[in-house]
Amino acid sequence: MRFHCFNLCMLLLLPLGACRIGGVQPTPILGDVPEVIAVWPMADGGEPADDELWFSGLAAALRERGYHVMPPGITVQLLRDSDLVTTTSDEQAIGRALRADAVMRLQVRCFDADNSAGLKHAEWDLKWTLLSTRGQGELWSFSHYGNYQKPTGDAFDPGRRLEAQRDTGDIVPIGGYRSLSFRTSEELLAHLNYLAMSHLPKQ
């Protein structure tokens, strides 16, 4: 599966290795901290917008921050039962239908991935936005853009003696950087969703 980026020349691509989850300082929520968050089942700009790819690990990452979460599948069903559609922008009506205090929306401004024989390369520009369903507007947002290149060298095989490994990689001290490797776009998106939610204050 390949997703196309627009205006890539306008992006300053950052290496994924520069991303750190440990020691993240969360961005404050502007307004009342929600208890229940619904993950909006359509990724604005995603192709297709309702592909489960975009939401990989997002609900789990929100739960880890202490929130009650409605994953995309449940959100879709509740919207159908209430006669609302996924194209609506009436956040208060959404809140009544879902009984949620806020909605987490994902905007895919760019995502281009080469998944041939495993994930080799990816570029992205994503934005996560938490919108109040209680009339308080945007509560929180986080943007991230960058790129990923599959690390070179043979993969480490724990079944072989250490001396026989061609490339075991550098030893990384506690708190240091480590080159990350992803087999699929789903694994990459799960990492990016987790990274984004690490900037959301805990409930």
pLDDT along the chain (203 residues), means of 10: 43 38 82 97 96 97 98 94 86 94 98 88 97 97 95 53 38 47 94 97 94
pLDDT at 171: 38
Helix 72-81 / helix 91-98 crossing angle, nearest 10 deg: 100
pLDDT at 89: 83
In the sheet that holds 102-114, the strands lie side by side as 68-70, 36-39, 102-114, 121-132, 138-149
Phi then psi dihedrals of residue 44, to 5 deg: -60, 120
Contact 90, 100 (CB under 8 A): no
pLDDT at 19: 41
pLDDT at 11: 36
pTM above 0.95, yes or no: no
pLDDT at 174: 40
pLDDT at 200: 98
pLDDT at 129: 98
pLDDT at 40: 96
pLDDT at 153: 58
Domains of the chain and any CATH numbers? 32-149+185-197 (3.40.50.10610)
pLDDT at 179: 64
